[in-house]
Amino acid sequence: MNQLDNLLKSIIAHVNVNLREFVDVGPHIRHLVDNDKLANFYGFYALTPHHPLYFKFTESCLSGTYFLGKCVATRSIIYKSDIRGDELKRRGDVVSVDGLNIRIYDDEIIFIRDSFLLKTLVHNNSHDPENLEKFSIRNTVALHWSNIHGSTMEGCFLGPFATVDLTSSHNCVFGAYSYTQASDLSNVYVPPGRIWIKVENGFEFTYQFDDKVLEKYIAYETGSAPTGLLMDYVEDRKGDFIPIYSSVQENPVPVPPGASLSPYAVVKGQTRIDRNVLVAQRAYLEEAWLGEGSNAQENCYIVHSSLEGEDVTAHGGKIIHTHLGRHIFVGFNAFLHGSPENPLQVGDNSIIMPHTIIDAEEPLEIPANSLVWGYIQNADDLAKNSIPLEEMEKVDGELEMGSMKFSGKGKMFADVFRHRIQHILEENGAFYDGKNGKNGAGHAQKNHDMAFNTMQPYPSGQLRGLYPGLEISPTSLDYFAHIDD
Amino acid sequence: MNQLDNLLKSIIAHVNVNLREFVDVGPHIRHLVDNDKLANFYGFYALTPHHPLYFKFTESCLSGTYFLGKCVATRSIIYKSDIRGDELKRRGDVVSVDGLNIRIYDDEIIFIRDSFLLKTLVHNNSHDPENLEKFSIRNTVALHWSNIHGSTMEGCFLGPFATVDLTSSHNCVFGAYSYTQASDLSNVYVPPGRIWIKVENGFEFTYQFDDKVLEKYIAYETGSAPTGLLMDYVEDRKGDFIPIYSSVQENPVPVPPGASLSPYAVVKGQTRIDRNVLVAQRAYLEEAWLGEGSNAQENCYIVHSSLEGEDVTAHGGKIIHTHLGRHIFVGFNAFLHGSPENPLQVGDNSIIMPHTIIDAEEPLEIPANSLVWGYIQNADDLAKNSIPLEEMEKVDGELEMGSMKFSGKGKMFADVFRHRIQHILEENGAFYDGKNGKNGAGHAQKNHDMAFNTMQPYPSGQLRGLYPGLEISPTSLDYFAHIDD
C-alpha cells in the first residue's frame, strides 16, 4: 500500500468536512495525478539573505514545488506549485485595517495543512485582519493554475485557473477561471467564468463568461485535467521546462544591473531583458523584449511580444504577438493572444483586468488609458468590453456593458487598480536606483542572491512520493558574532 | 565580517584545548581554504528506504559534503567530505566486546562537533565499546583525503592522507599518510608515514616510510595543501568532477542487475561494470573493468585497469595500469601506479596493505596469496616488502624485513585481514543472489533507491558560506497506515 493514497484520503476527508454542503472533492482529485508523477519530481526552496527563512514540512508530498520565505506544510500534497513568501509581512510592520493600526508581532508565515494544491500559485500575504501573521490555507483543494493571492482560506475548492485575490474565504467554491476579490467570504459559490470584484460601500464589478467561451478556452470535467486553448497553450510548452530542471544553467541572455532572471525560467529566441526587470521561476519567454522595470511573474508566457517598460504581467498572464506600451497591467491568467497576421497592441497606462481573454481574429489596437475585461475577438467586442479610464472614473451608480455590470464609485475602482500597479512595480524593484522607498530594491534586485536547494521524496517503498520531515531554520549570528580574536 | 572566520576561530579554540600539548592547529587551517570556496559548493544528502534517516545540521559549513544515514553536525566545517552512514549499527543489533554481548539500544548516529574535516571520509561505525550508538568526532581537525573509519575521536589532528581505522582516539596526532589501527589511543603522536597495526595480546605491525619517499609522494607543510605525486594525481583529475555536480546524468555505461554506479562518480572511456559491483560517489573510473562483486569506494581511482572479481578497493585506493586477479584487497590510500611500459599484475587472494605505494619502474608481477606493504618500485623492493601469506601465518614472534617490523601471531594478522575482506564484500553486496546472509543485498543493491538532495549555504551577507539550520527526519507510517477506506 502506497501511503500517498492514504494521504490523499486524509485530505479529502478534511476538505469534505468543510465543504460537505457544496461538493464532495473526492471525485475531483482521487485519480487526478498518478502516484508516479507525485514521486518523480524534486521540490526546491530558495535561501536568500533578504527574507526571513523558515520551512517545516511534515507528512507531505511537495514534488515540483518551489518554496521561498517561510512556510509550514503539514499532511498536504503540493504538486508543482509555487509558494512564494517574499511579500510576507515582517515583525514591526504596521497594517491599517479600517483606520486601526495593527503592529505585526512576528514575521508572517504561510501555513498549509490538509490541503491539495496542484500547480497553484500562493503569493503575497494574509489580508485577513484577524490573522495577519499567519497566511493560512487549510482543508483546501486548488486545481491546475489556480492562484491563491493574499487570500487565507479554510475549506475551499478552487477549480482550474481560478484566482482568489485578497479575499479571506471560509467554505467556498470557486469555479474554473473565476476571479474573486471580495475582502472576506463565507459559504459562497462563485460559478465558473465569473469575474467578481467587490469593495463594501465602494463598488461591485461582475462579468460572466459565456459557457461556450469557457468550453473553448478552459473546460473542466470533474476528475480530469482541464482542456481548452489555455490549457493547450501551456501543455504544448511543458517540454521546454525539462532541461531547466535537470541542469544548472548560466544566464542564456544578458541580465543587466538590477534585473533578475530565475534559473527556473525558460528563455528562447531573441529575448532581451532591460534594467530592473524581474523574471520569476516558471515564466516562459520566447522572442520577448522586456523593457525597463517590466516583470514576468510565475506561469507567465511572453512570446513574440514586447513590453516597453514598467509593465506588469501578473501570475499566469499570457502575452502573445502583442506589443504593450508603458505602464500597463495585465492581470492574473489573462490571455492576450495575437498572431503574426492579427497582432495586438495595447496603449500606455491601460489595465487589462484579470482573466481577460483577447483572442484577436483581426489586428487590434487598444487605446492608451483603457480599462479592458471579458472576451474580445475583434473591434466590436473591444468596444463592448472596454472603457476609457477617464470615463470609468465618472461613473457613480450603475454601468452595464455586455456581460459586465458595475455599480458604485468608478473613481475608487480605477484608483484601486492604479494604486495596486504602483505597489506591484515598487515591490518588484521596477524603479530601483539604489535609493530607498519606491526607488529601493525589490524582488528584481533581491533575487540575485538566491541559492536553490532541492529535496526529494522517498524513492521507493510504502513511503514512495512522501517527503521526510524537513525543518530549515535561520542561522543566528548570536554565537559567532561574539567570538573574540 | 564574514562569520565563517568566526566559526573557524571557534573550531581552532576547541581543538587546541585538547591538543595544546602537541600542536596549535591554528596555523594548519587558518588560511587553508578560501571563504569563497567554502561558500561555492552545495552539500548533498541521500534519502533511501533502506537506512535509518536523520540529519541535523547547525551553525556549520557543509559545502561539497555528502551525507548518508544519520548525522548530527554542529559548529563544524565539513568541506567536500563524505559522511557515509550506511554501516551504522541498528537498534537491536548485538555487538560482542571481549566476550560480552551488548545490545544496541538505538540506531547509531554520526555526531560531529567543533571539527574541521577537509575532503575527509567518515565511514563505518563506532568501534568504541563504551559508545556504540554514537560515532562521535569532536574537537578534531582532519586534512585532505584523510580517512576516519570506524574511529571515534576527540581532540585529534589528522594530517593529509592519514587514516585512522577502527581506533578510538583521544588527544592524538596522526601525521601525513600515517595509517593507524590500534583499538584505542590516548595522547599518542603517530609520525608521518608510519603504518601501525596493533592488536593487544595478538600482534603489532609497523612500517615507516622514508622521508624522501614522503617528500616525493605526500609532502605536507603547515598551512598549505599537500604536494607530491599522490596529490598531483588527484588534482589533475579534479576538473572531471565538475560536470558531474552540475547536471543530472544518466548512467554513462550499462549497469547490470545488482550493481550500482553513483551519479556522483566519474566514468570515462571503455569502462565496464559487472554484476554486484559497487561504485561509490567520488570514485573515478577510466578504461576500467570492474569484475563481478568488485567495488570502487569513495575517492578511488581505477584507471586503465581491470579487476577480475570480488576485489576490494578501499577508500582512497588508486589502481593505475594494473591487472588485479580475483579476491584482492587494496587498502586505504594505496597507490598502485603501473604504466603502459611497466604494467602491474596482482595475483589472486593477495592483500595490498593500506597506504602501500607501488610505483613500477619495471613490469611487476605480485604472486597470488601475497601480503604487500611499504614502498615498491621494482622486483628487489617487492622481495623486501612482501611475503607469501602462507609464510606470514607461520610467524610467531619477531619478523623484520626492510623498514617493516612485526611481532606476534602471523596467523591472527592474516586472519584479521581475511575476515575483514569477507565482511567488506558482504556489506557491499558482492555475493548477492537475492538470498539472505552473505548472499543478501548490500550497498551495491541498496544504492539503487537513492534520492539525492542538495543544500546550499547563505549566498551572501555575513552568513555567506554558513548553512541554515537543517533537520531531516523520517516520515512515520503511524498516521497514514491507520486511515480507513
- Per-residue confidence band for B31, with pLDDT thresholds at 50, 70 and 90: very high
Question: What one-character-per-residue DSSP string does B77-144 give?
Answer: EEES-EEE-TT---TT-EEEETTEEEE--S--EEEEES-EEES-EEES----TT-SSEEEEES-EE-T
b/e A421-449 (16+ beta carbons within 10 angstroms → b): bbebbbbbbbbbeeeeebeebbbbbbbbb
A72, A453, A471, A476: best to mutate for the B interface, most B CBs within 10 A:
A453
Residues of A in contact with B246 (CB under 8 A): 247-248
CB contact under 8 A, B468 and A48: no
Question: The C-alpha cell of B379 is what?
Answer: 622486483
Report yes or no: A231 and A214 within 8 Å, Cβ to Cβ: no
Residues 6+ apart with CB under 8 A from B436: none
According to DSSP, the β-strands at B109-113 and B134-138 are: parallel
Q: Which three cell numbers stand for residue A306?
A: 514586447
In percent, the amount of chain B with pLDDT more than 90 equals 91
- d(C-alpha A328, C-alpha A290), whole Å: 12
Is pLDDT of B484 > 70? no
Q: Testing the interface with B: which of A5, A477, A480 to mutate, by most B Cβ within 10 A?
A: A480
- For B57, list phi and psi in degrees, rounded to 5: -120, 125
Q: Which residues of B touch A3 (CB under 8 A)?
A: 477, 480-481
What is the gyration radius of the CA atoms in chain A, in angstroms?
22
B173, B157 contact by CB (below 8 A):
yes
**Between B457, B462, B469, which is nearest A472 by CB?**
B469
> Chain B residues with CB inside 8 Å of A447's CB?
none
Contact A475 B59 (CB under 8 A): yes
Cross-chain residue pair A481–B452, CB shorter than 8 Å: no
Q: What CATH class has A3-227+450-472?
A: mainly beta
Q: What is the DSSP letter of A180?
A: E
Task: Give the residue carrying C-alpha cell 597507490.
Answer: B335
Chain B partners within 8 Å of A474 (Cβ): 468-469
What letter would DSSP give residue B467? Answer: P
Verify whether the Cβ–Cβ distance A451 to B453 is below 8 Å: no
Per-residue pLDDT of chain A (485 residues; tens, 9 = 90+): 689 999 999 999 999 999 998 999 999 999 999 999 999 999 999 999 889 999 999 999 999 999 999 999 999 999 999 999 999 999 999 999 889 999 999 999 999 999 999 999 999 999 999 999 999 999 999 999 999 999 999 999 999 999 999 999 999 999 999 999 999 999 999 999 999 999 999 999 999 999 999 999 999 999 999 999 999 999 999 999 988 888 777 789 999 989 999 999 999 999 999 999 999 999 999 999 999 999 999 999 999 999 999 999 999 999 999 999 999 999 999 999 999 999 999 999 999 999 999 999 999 999 999 999 999 999 999 999 999 999 999 999 999 999 999 999 999 999 999 999 999 999 999 999 988 888 899 999 998 889 999 999 999 999 999 999 999 999 988 877 777 65
CATH of domain A237-397+424-445: 2.160.10.10
Max CA distance (Å), chain B: 76
Testing the interface with B: which of A66, A260, A483 to mutate, by most B Cβ within 10 A? Answer: A483
| Cβ atoms of residues B79 and B119 within 8 Å | yes
As a whole number of angstroms, the distance between CA B74 and CA A42 comes to: 27
Contact A19, A29 (CB under 8 A): no
Q: Cite the residue boundaries of each domain of chain A with CATH code 2.160.10.10.
A: 3-227+450-472, 237-397+424-445
Q: Is A389 exposed, middle or buried (0-12, 13-18, 19+ CB in 10 A)?
A: buried
SS3 B381: helix
d(CA A351, CA A370): 6
Give chain A positions within 8 Å (CB) of B477.
3, 462-463
C-alpha grid cell for residue B383?
Answer: 622481495
Residue of B nearest to A8 (CA): B480
Classify A76 as helix, strand or coil: coil
For B199, the 3-state DSSP assignment is strand
Residue type, B207: Y
3-state SS assignment for residue A196: strand
Which of B63, B245, B453 has the most A C-beta neighbours within 10 Å, making it the best mutation to test the interface with A? B453
Alpha helices in B135-267 (DSSP H): 211-217, 229-236, 242-246
Confidence band (pLDDT; 50, 70, 90) for B225? very high
Is B458 close to A470, i.e. CB distance below 8 A?
no
Question: Residue B63 pLDDT > 90, yes or no?
Answer: yes
CB–CB of A254/A273 below 8 Å?
Answer: yes
Answer whether B463 sits within 8 Å of A49, measured CB to CB: yes
**Residues B326, B346: Cα–Cα separation, whole Å:** 9
Measured in angstroms, the CA of A37 and the nearest CA of chain B are apart by 15
Q: Is the pLDDT of residue B485 over 60?
A: no
CB A57 within 8 Å of CB A469: yes
The answer to whether the Cβ–Cβ distance between B475 and A461 falls below 8 Å is: no
The residue of chain B with its CA nearest to that of A450 is B459
Eight-state DSSP code of residue B448: G
**In A, which residues are within 8 Å of B9 by CB distance?**
483, 485
Mean pLDDT rounded to a whole number for chain B = 95
Closest CB to A456: pick one of B47, B462, B483: B47
Q: CA-CA distance, A142 to A81, in Å (whole number)?
A: 10
Among B157, B180, B175, B181, residue whose Cα is nearest residue B211: B175
Q: Which three cell numbers stand for residue A207?
A: 462579468
Nearest to A174 by CA among A286, A29, A19, A327: A19
Q: Taking the CA of residue B392 as centre, how many other CA atoms within 13 Å lie in the half-sphere pointing to its CB?
A: 28
Chain-chain contact of B468 with A473 (C-beta, under 8 angstroms) = yes
Q: What is the pLDDT of residue B247?
A: 76
ipTM score: 0.93
Q: Which CATH class is domain B3-232+450-472?
A: mainly beta
C-alpha to C-alpha distance for A422 and B171, rounded to whole angstroms = 64
Closest chain B residue to the Cα of A4, Cα to Cα: B480
Contact residues on chain A for B260, CB-CB shorter than 8 A: none
Determine the pLDDT at residue B360: 98
User: Residue B458 and residue A475: Cβ atoms within 8 Å?
Assistant: yes
CA dihedral B246, B247, B250, B253 (to 10 degrees): -30
pLDDT of residue B141: 98
In chain B, residues with a C-beta closer than 8 Å to the C-beta of A462 are: 477
A:B CB pairs within 8 Å: 143
What contacts B478, CB < 8 A, 6 or more positions away?
none
Distance in Å, alpha carbon of B68 to nearest chain A alpha carbon: 14
Q: Say which of B10, B473, B477 has its CB closest to residue A468.
A: B473
Helix (H) or strand (E) holding A211: helix A211-217
Distance from CA of B471 to the nearest CA of A (A): 5
Task: Retrieve residue A287's grid coordinates.
Answer: 522572442
Of the candidates B7, B247, B483, the beta carbon closest to that of A480 is on B7
Nearest residue to A349 via CA among A372, A332, A316: A372
Backbone angles phi, psi at A94, to 5 degrees: -120, 130
Return the pLDDT at A485.
Answer: 52
Min Cα distance A472 → chain B (Å) is 5
pLDDT recorded at residue A478: 81
Predicted local distance difference test score (pLDDT) of residue B244? 87
Q: Do B483 and A9 touch (CB under 8 A)?
A: yes
CA distance B37 to chain A (A): 15
Give the residue from A414, A482, A474 showing the smallest Cα distance to A49: A474
Q: Strand B100-103 relative to strand B94-97: parallel, antiparallel, unpaired? A: antiparallel
Domain B245-396+409-445 in CATH 2.160.10.10? The answer is yes
A42: chain B residues, CB-CB within 8 Å: 451, 453
**Chain B partners within 8 Å of A55 (Cβ):** none
C-alpha distances (whole Å) from B417 to each of B23, B109, B316, B353, B354 are 33, 26, 18, 9, 11
CB contact set of B404 (below 8 Å; sequence gap of 6+): B205, B206, B207, B373, B374, B385
Name the residue facing A246 among B247, B458, B461 (closest C-beta).
Answer: B247
Minimal Cα–Cα distance from B246 to chain A, Å? Answer: 5
Cell numbers placing A46: 530558495
Closest CA of chain B from A14, distance in Å: 12
Domain with CATH 2.160.10.10 in chain B: 3-232+450-472, 245-396+409-445
User: Integer distance in angstroms from the first to the last C-alpha of chain A?
Assistant: 58
Rounded Cα gap, residues A306 and A65, in angstroms: 29
One-letter amino acid for residue B54 of the chain:
Y
Coil, strand or helix at B29 = helix
What is the CA B344 to chain-centroid distance, rounded? 24
Poorest-confidence range of A11-15, A435-439, B21-25, B266-270? Answer: A435-439
How close, in Å, is residue B286 to chain A by CA atoms?
A: 24
pLDDT in tens, B439-453: 899 999 998 889 999
Cα A334–chain centre separation: 11
Kindly identify which residue of chain A lies nearest to residue B4, measuring between CA atoms.
Answer: A480
Q: Is the pLDDT of residue B212 over 70?
A: yes
Q: Match 592524538 to its residue by C-alpha cell.
A: B172
Closest approach of B270 to chain A, Cα-based (Å): 25
What are the φ/ψ torsions at residue B90 (nearest 5 degrees)? -110, 155
Backbone angles phi, psi at B14, to 5 degrees: -65, -45
